[in-house]
Chains A and B, each alone.
Chain A
Amino acid sequence: MSTVEVVRFALRGLVANKLRSALTMLGILIGVAAVILLVAVGNGTARTISERIEALGTNTLTVMSSGRDATLTVPVANALADPVLAPDVASVSPVASTSATITCQGTDHQVSQFVGTTPDWFAASNTPVGSGAAFTADDEAQARRVVVLGQTAAQELFGAADPIDQQVTVSGALFTVVGVLAAKSSTGFQDANDTAVAPLSAVREVLTGYGSLTSILVEAATPDVVDAAQSEVATVLDQRLKVAADAQSTPYRIQNASQLLETQTETADTFTTLLGAVAAISLLVGGIGITNIMLVTVTERTREIGIRKALGAPRRTILTQFLIEATLLSVLGGLLGVLAALVGSTFEIVGVKPVIVPSSIVLALGVSIAIGLFFGGLPAGRAARLRPIDALRYE
């Protein structure tokens, strides 16, 4: 009997038992889809977390004062931009920020962060300008009153209208809007788009005064030298602020974005592992389901195997037929499961955009097919070895 014939027999066997075949495939489908989707949701969450952190800039250091003393000043900031003492520092942006109310033609909007800084800040903090332009170094030097608004601030003040070249009032001074920042994903509870950025000199003049800076944003040359840059910055600051070598604490602290990223990635990895464990359990449960249905299917058909043997079917033919049936069920069910998972992953699940992990597809599909084949083939092989009369009498 040719292979084609056996395949046709297997197909006929599946079609003759439509409901059972459909249910078997459904079981495999759900098992496979659940595993792939769970891992994808975990991976998507991890991805979202790291994207949000990367949005902060991974190669930056933020220097903040830890005490109440006015330790961070513009000269201190300028001292950090020293190519000899701190060769790994690419740029230094002093930042003075405060909350402020912006008024425009009778509309009030309170921004949580009105940032005064230098033009380098846009690149260093990974905050690109969406429309219009950033202010220039010249604007900063001349203390020109220009401002770049965040998405939320622009929306609140101007609605759908184009804010560029419009005048806004901040603390009694007129600022000209020169640009709008590109939308930024938010970290935590604060709206990162509810901001406005203006030249440091103008902000100090109008809002914060000439006291201490809020922070200094230091950009390292590459993400790899962030740690080197950090120690260089620390050395310069210790020197500059006259911190004793054996001091217990420093009047400043340095926040390292890549450290933050590392911690967060670890958290995300833990999350993925956890979901992977859940997925493994669902794969196990799904596998037991497949095992069960395959065992029942073949046991139920032991009598049919007896009939086929009595009619002169060789053991190999019977075994091949049942193996092909099991293969078709598990492969079709598995592929449909992958398809379902792919379709499902295009939707947001509990606020997370799932990102499919290719290895999870391979694993889920592989395990399901292996289980289907093993538990479809094993009892079929056992039944095919029985004497026809024993198979026929089997209840």
Chain B
Amino acid sequence: MAAPTAEPVIQVAGLTKVYGSGEATVHALRGVDMTVLRGDYVAIMGSSGSGKSTLMNILGALDVPSAGRYLLDGVDVSRLADRQLAVARNRLIGFVFQAFNLIPRTSALANVELPLAYAGVKARQRRDRAMAALETVGLADRARHEPNQLSGGQQQRVAVARALVTEPALLLADEPTGNLDTRSTEDVLEVFDGLHRSGRTIVLITHETEVGDRAGRLIRLVDGRIVTDVRQQPAGRQTTGRHSRPLTGTEALT
């Protein structure tokens, strides 16, 4: 499904991000080039401060790069006006945060409906699609619960449902399991595996090697640069379980 000839979802070239100025200048990204193809399951790893979150925020159109080009689904994001950016975030990207970021005191269903509401989907259809998305993450029976009535793992799965409900071209997850225990991590990762099997493009950030191992492709960032980019198994192959392979580069893609 994701042969090298597949169309690219993300094309990034010479991406840099600089925070601050003068002596306090921090180079979070120092020229990142990468391409993510449709159906790829990419894990980005790196120590803290390596720029992976910055990269993720730029990929999610939540932040803008200092320099470089970012084509999302063939569209140059840096040229989009505020309104078009909102549409891009809504239609093209599903973002899962480490801190879940559900709207407080609002039911799981309403949270999942939110992106559809901003997309202008009618109430009835919105409900059906949101329920379907909750079904996908196995939380259909918790639709009426508010975030504080759900466990961390459940909240994160609601967040995943919210990210995929608009059927975006790209699912981005910034350390989705960072705040979760082992069991909840497993729940959430199984959801990602399932989405990957059904052909979604997923990019996630993680600290944990076991999370990274499940992805089809592993990118390591050090000091704002990509140091390794390896395919651990053909992207799109069914993930059957845990893998612990040495992280030797076999198929560098840039």
Of the candidates A12, A303, A313, the one whose C-beta lies within 8 Å of that of B86 is: A313
Of the candidates A5, A16, A315, the one whose C-beta lies within 8 Å of that of B117 is: A5
Residue of A nearest to B92 (CB): A312
Contacts A315-B86, A387-B62: A310 and B118 contacting too (C-beta < 8 A)? no
User: Which of chain B's residues have a CB closer than 8 A to the CB of A303?
Assistant: 101
Q: Knowing that A312-B87, A312-B89, A387-B64 touch, tell me 20 more A-B residue pairs with CB under 8 angstroms.
A: A16-B104, A16-B106, A304-B103, A308-B103, A308-B114, A309-B62, A309-B89, A310-B60, A310-B101, A311-B90, A311-B95, A311-B114, A311-B162, A315-B83, A317-B118, A387-B62, A388-B61, A388-B89, A389-B62, A392-B101
Question: Whole-angstrom distance from the CB of A15 to the nearest CB of chain B?
Answer: 9
- B62 touching A392 by the CB < 8 A rule? yes
5 contacts between A and B (CB under 8 A): A17-B105, A308-B103, A309-B86, A310-B97, A314-B118
Chain B positions 28-87 with a Cβ under 8 Å from a chain A Cβ = 57, 60-64, 82-83, 86-87
- A387 touching B86 by the CB < 8 A rule? no
Chain A positions 363-395 with a Cβ under 8 Å from a chain B Cβ = 387-389, 392
User: Which of chain B's residues have a CB closer than 8 A to the CB of A317?
Assistant: 118
B120 at the binding interface (Cβ < 8 Å) = yes
User: Which of chain A's residues have a CB closer than 8 A to the CB of B61?
Assistant: 388
Chain B positions 79-138 with a Cβ under 8 Å from a chain A Cβ = 82-83, 86-91, 95, 97, 101-106, 110, 114-115, 117-120
Chain A positions 202-238 with a Cβ under 8 Å from a chain B Cβ = none
Question: Whole-angstrom distance from the CB of B80 to the nearest CB of chain A?
Answer: 12
- B83 touching A314 by the CB < 8 A rule? yes
User: Which of chain A's residues have a CB closer than 8 A to the CB of B104?
Assistant: 16, 304
User: Which of chain A's residues have a CB closer than 8 A to the CB of B63?
Assistant: 387-389
Question: Whole-angstrom distance from the CB of A318 to the nearest CB of chain B?
Answer: 9
- A12 touching B64 by the CB < 8 A rule? no
Q: Give chain A's interface residue range (CB within 8 Å of chain B).
A: 20 to 34
- A16 touching B105 by the CB < 8 A rule? yes
Question: Whole-angstrom distance from the CB of B48 to the nearest CB of chain A?
Answer: 16
- B86 touching A312 by the CB < 8 A rule? yes
CB-CB nearest 8 A-B residue pairs: A312-B90, A16-B105, A312-B89, A314-B86, A388-B62, A389-B62, A389-B63, A311-B115
Question: Whole-angstrom distance from the CB of A20 to the nearest CB of chain B?
Answer: 10
Measured between alpha carbons, how far is A9 from B60 in the docked complex, in Å? 25
- A1 touching B89 by the CB < 8 A rule? no
Measured between alpha carbons, how far is A31 from B97 in the docked complex, in Å? 42
One digit per residue, 1 when the CB lies within 8 angstroms of any chain B CB and 0 when it does not, for chain A 262-276 equals 000000000000000
Chain A positions 280-326 with a Cβ under 8 Å from a chain B Cβ = 303-304, 306-317
Residue of B nearest to A1 (CB): B120
User: Which of chain A's residues have a CB closer than 8 A to the CB of B57?
Assistant: 389
Measured between alpha carbons, how far is A2 from B117 in the docked complex, in Å? 9
- A312 touching B91 by the CB < 8 A rule? yes
- B64 touching A311 by the CB < 8 A rule? no
Of the candidates A5, A310, A314, A315, the one whose C-beta lies within 8 Å of that of B62 is: A310
Of the candidates B86, B101, B105, B110, the one whose C-beta lies within 8 Å of that of A307 is: B101
One digit per residue, 1 when the CB lies within 8 angstroms of any chain A CB and 0 when it does not, for chain B 15-32 equals 000000000000000000
User: Which of chain B's residues have a CB closer than 8 A to the CB of A389?
Assistant: 57, 62-63
- B115 touching A12 by the CB < 8 A rule? no
User: Which of chain A's residues have a CB closer than 8 A to the CB of B62?
Assistant: 309-310, 387-389, 392
Measured between alpha carbons, how far is A232 from B115 in the docked complex, in Å? 87
Measured between alpha carbons, how far is A313 from B61 in the docked complex, in Å? 13
- B89 touching A310 by the CB < 8 A rule? yes
User: Which of chain B's residues have a CB closer than 8 A to the CB of A2?
Assistant: 120
User: Which of chain B's residues have a CB closer than 8 A to the CB of A16?
Assistant: 103-106
Measured between alpha carbons, how far is A74 from B115 in the docked complex, in Å? 97
Residue of A nearest to B100 (CB): A307
Interface centre among A9, A310, A387, A388 (most CB of B within 10 A): A310
Measured between alpha carbons, how far is A5 from B63 in the docked complex, in Å? 28
Measured between alpha carbons, how far is A387 from B82 in the docked complex, in Å? 10
Measured between alpha carbons, how far is A134 from B110 in the docked complex, in Å? 80
Measured between alpha carbons, how far is A304 from B100 in the docked complex, in Å? 12
Question: Whole-angstrom distance from the CB of A24 to the nearest CB of chain B?
Answer: 16
Residue of A nearest to B88 (CB): A312
Chain A positions 108-128 with a Cβ under 8 Å from a chain B Cβ = none
User: Which of chain A's residues have a CB closer than 8 A to the CB of B105?
Assistant: 16-17
User: Which of chain A's residues have a CB closer than 8 A to the CB of B120?
Assistant: 1-2
Measured between alpha carbons, how far is A9 from B117 in the docked complex, in Å? 10
User: Which of chain B's residues have a CB closer than 8 A to the CB of A315?
Assistant: 82-83, 86
- B118 touching A312 by the CB < 8 A rule? yes
Chain A positions 1-57 with a Cβ under 8 Å from a chain B Cβ = 1-2, 5, 9, 12, 16-17
Measured between alpha carbons, how far is A168 from B118 in the docked complex, in Å? 90
Measured between alpha carbons, how far is A341 from B168 in the docked complex, in Å? 54
User: Which of chain B's residues have a CB closer than 8 A to the CB of A12?
Assistant: 106, 110
Contacts A12-B106, A12-B110, A16-B106: A311 and B118 contacting too (C-beta < 8 A)? yes
- A312 touching B119 by the CB < 8 A rule? yes
Measured between alpha carbons, how far is A309 from B90 in the docked complex, in Å? 9
Question: Whole-angstrom distance from the CB of A259 to the nearest CB of chain B?
Answer: 66
Chain B positions 137-195 with a Cβ under 8 Å from a chain A Cβ = 162, 166
